[in-house]
Amino acid sequence: MKMESFAICYNQEISHSVEIKDKLNAILVKKGVYPHILNIDGLKGGFNFVFVIGGDGTILKTARFYAKYQTPVFGINLGRLGFLSQSSKENLEKSVNEIFNGRFVVEERIMLKSGNYSALNDFVIKGCDMGRTSKFSLKINDRYVCDYLADGIIVSTPTGSTAYCLSAGGPVLTPSLKAFVIVPICPHTLTARPIVVPDCEKITVCTETQNRYVICADGQELYEFNSEIEITKSDYTAKLALLNDAEFYSVLTSKLHWAMPPAYIN
């Protein structure tokens, strides 16, 4: 890692982000590193490592952007859950020391693409008339699979399996799996269950042509379509810098309180 090629990305709309940005900058300067400071709306390439300050939404946007540059991003949580983040403002200096001592790994996370859009967590497809259910036909590799009468469809990566996908009744996938999960949102039949498919499959969701639909990438980028939409694996992978003690199953317990009795949840 070239010491002169660090960047700090922050979201000024999030409380305390400027304060933490300044604190992180001071820590790096003391180590002889003078990072570039970037706002979330002004990202640019040319770095070997990026610190990103904000919630999971900020980290998702930054990781998607830097995927095409193959640049690792390290999340510092200022949001609520912070499932993708590795540090908090309280242990910021300790985390930086861990990184500079080489006690971290870079995980590659598969992403989805649909047209010119990409997603690290998921694509969500819904009808524009949010007050009505919609009919969706699912095809995999151009072969018909089933019809869903539902509020929407989620197509998720393993990274996104702990997000909207999980809330809608989908399974948790470990990040290393090369697979996607397709989850109907509030389906009108008990036999409509989530499906896990290999990441080499082409997923097509067909809709009723007389209605309008929207597809949303990571809850951030939204566009309308009609007729059908194709979703495949992205050509790029996001690179997340993770501290060595951030093992996936321990994160499930610490952040999602996985399988813990209610009495132990603060």
Nearest to 172 by CA among 71, 107, 252: 252
CB-CB contact of 229 with 215 (8 Å) = yes
Sign of the alpha-carbon dihedral angle for 237, 241, 247, 253: negative
Catalytic one among 56, 122, 151, 218?
Answer: 56
Strands 6-10 and 36-39: parallel
Sign of the alpha-carbon dihedral angle for 193, 81, 52, 244: negative
Q: Has 56 been annotated as catalytic?
A: yes
Nearest to 83 by CA among 262, 247, 256, 239: 256
CB-CB contact of 39 with 12 (8 Å) = yes
Distance separating alpha carbons of residues 85 and 66, to the nearest angstrom = 16
Sign of the alpha-carbon dihedral angle for 9, 12, 17, 19: positive
CB-CB contact of 224 with 214 (8 Å) = yes
Mark 188-225 as b/e (b = at least 16 C-beta within 10 Å). eeeebebbbbebeeebbbebeeeeebebbbbbeeeeee
Catalytic residues: 56
